[in-house]
Amino acid sequence: MMTFGDHVGEYAELYALGALEPEERLGIDRHLARCARCTREVGRAEAAVAALDDATLPRVEPPAALGRRIAASAAALAPAKVIAFRPRPSVPMRFALAASIALVVGLGGGVALDRSIGSHVSTRDEDALRAVAASHFLHASFTPAVAGAPTAKVLYARDRSWYYVIVDADIAGCHVVARSSAGDFDAGPLQAGLQTSTLFVRTSAAPRSLSLVKEGRVIATATLAAFSGGP
Amino acid sequence: MGEHEDEALVGDFIARRNEGLEAVYEAYGTALFSVARHVLGDDDDAQDCVHDVLLRLWQRPDSYQRGRGSLRAYLMVCIRNEAVTRLRDATRHRKIETQVAASETTAYEFEIRDVVESERLKRALAVLPPDQRSALALAYARQLSHREISARLGVPLGTIKSRISLGLRRLQTMLPRQEVSV
């Protein structure tokens, strides 16, 4: 770990420009935590780099999806600190979680988010919350196979370590069936809520598609992106 | 860019309120994404970078202190640092090295795009000694570390640090200040 004398000196400019290695930046961060003078120095260097950015970089508007993704991640993270574990899943909490995630994937545009409802969450729902907040993920829509099939989407990790199915209906007796090169397997039943049904699954099977199956009949299928098996 | 930051915005962000994060993104999202997009050269990577950094800092509000100055500038530098770190990862970094080596020269310059600021920046850059300007441009525009610049130019590390530091400090005195109300 690098150390400094009394102050960061010319490292302030290197820090602001991104010209230091990560371990060097960490050393400065630690010093700044206890040195107001160097914090001001680094702040001045940061202002100069920001001014350079404003003068030289083309302004690129971020995609609208980024704002929704950030808001949904914040919504998912905010209640996590006050969650108390209970043995049974809470339907309202699951709805709140699914609703916040639905904001990301644009599921059922009218889904309302109410973080004030519910105070506990199932282990599976917490897994989903943590996975979505901490991972890079993809999503796919389910294509209806029968008339009246509910709108549904699946979020899944880029590394295929988890899958989170969200159905825009409180549908009972519906299972998620995964289809992979190794064969089909039942990933489990959807857990019905007030307005959504969800299922969070961890598997290494890397399925090619997921189907919603009710009473032995496929009602909708989502085709997942090709996966090479790499991280 | 001279501006007074909204005290409520800064306070809400530090207090880890959802509305603080949303307001920060609404106010600075374009600037932050522009930095990430410029460094990484890819929309998806830039989105991941902005998302991850904003969420991380929002969860750790003690990482920003008001005495540091502008929250906007702080966030832009955090995005730049994270983007540069990602860029330097394994294969990507080798690719950049190849690109830099292919355009080998000891004279590196800035590309100025903002019409309003261009004259002011050109004047500021014109007064910098060429060695300071080149070292600064390699750090800023090429995202090279001070060690890489030292190796690239065949100049001792200490000299490179001084050139970059002096160059940015001189620019700092001539560029518009970012102000923050604290």
User: Which residues, in sequence order, are CB contacts of B15 under 8 Å at separation 6+?
Assistant: B61
Q: Which residues of A100-128 are buried (b: 16+ CB within 10 A; e: fewer)?
A: bbbbbbebbeebebeeeebebbbebbbbb
**Does residue A115 or residue A218 have the better pLDDT?**
A218
Backbone angles phi, psi at A172, to 5 degrees: -105, 155
Give the CA radius of gyration of chain A: 23
The SS3 assignment for A168 reads: coil
Question: Closest Cα partner for B55 from A117, A231, A132?
Answer: A132
CA A164 – CA B89 distance, rounded (Å) = 30
Q: Is A47 on the interface with B (CB under 8 A)?
A: yes
| Residue range A186-231, pLDDT digits in tens | 888 888 766 678 888 887 778 888 989 888 888 889 988 877 664 4
CA A15 – CA A105 distance, rounded (Å) = 37
| Residue range A164-194, pLDDT digits in tens | 888 888 788 888 988 877 777 888 888 876 6
Question: Closest Cα partner for A20 from A48, A7, A37, A1?
Answer: A1
Domain with CATH 1.10.1740.10 in chain B: 3-91
In this structure, whether the domain defined by B108-174 belongs to CATH 1.10.10.10 is answered with yes
């990484």: which residue's tokens? B40
Given an 8 Å threshold on Cβ–Cβ distance, is A55 in contact with B144? no
DSSP secondary structure of A126-149: HHHHHHHHHS-EEEEEPEESSTTP
Q: Inform me whether the pLDDT recorded for A131 exceeds 80.
A: no
- Kindly state the tokens that stand for A201: 């699954």
User: Which residues, in sequence order, are CB contacts of A80 under 8 Å at separation 6+?
Assistant: A126, A129, A130, A133
- Rounded to the nearest angstrom, the gap between the alpha carbon of residue B2 and the centroid of all alpha carbons in its chain is 17
Q: What is the dihedral of CA B71, B72, B74, B78, to 10 degrees?
A: 130
Q: Inform me whether the pLDDT recorded for A44 exceeds 60.
A: yes
Q: Inform me whether the pLDDT recorded for B120 exceeds 80.
A: no
Point out which residues pair with A212 in neighbouring strands.
Answer: A176, A220
User: Which residues, in sequence order, are CB contacts of B13 under 8 Å at separation 6+?
Assistant: B20, B21, B23, B24, B58, B61, B64, B71
| Residue range A1-14, pLDDT digits in tens | 455 567 888 899 99
Nearest to B176 among A13, A51, A67 (CB): A51
Burial class from Cβ neighbours inside 10 Å (0-12, 13-18, 19+) for residue B66 reads middle
Question: Closest Cα partner for A226 from A164, A160, A167, A165?
Answer: A160
Mutate to test the interface with A, among B175, B177, B179, B180 (most CBs of A within 10 A): B175
Q: Is B43 on the interface with A (CB under 8 A)?
A: yes
Given an 8 Å threshold on Cβ–Cβ distance, is A45 in contact with B172? yes
Given an 8 Å threshold on Cβ–Cβ distance, is B38 in contact with A50? no
Instruction: Enumerate helices (H) and strands (E) in chain B, giving the number of each.
Output: 9, 0
Q: Which residues of chain A have a CB within 8 Å of the CB of B120?
A: 55
Question: In which element (H, E) is residue A76 found?
Answer: helix A64-77
Give ∠ CA A196-A202-A206 in degrees, rounded to 5: 105
Q: Mark residue B175 as left, alpha or beta (left: phi above 0; alpha: psi -120 to 50; beta: remaining).
A: beta
User: Which residues, in sequence order, are CB contacts of A13 under 8 Å at separation 6+?
Assistant: A45, A48, B164, B165, B167, B168, B169
pTM score, two decimals?
Answer: 0.59
Looking at residue A54, its pLDDT comes to: 86
Nearest to B55 among A45, A63, A70 (CB): A70
Q: Where are the alpha helices (DSSP H) in A116-227?
A: 123-134
* Interface ipTM: 0.81
| Residue range A80-95, pLDDT digits in tens | 333 333 333 444 445 5
CATH of domain B3-91: 1.10.1740.10
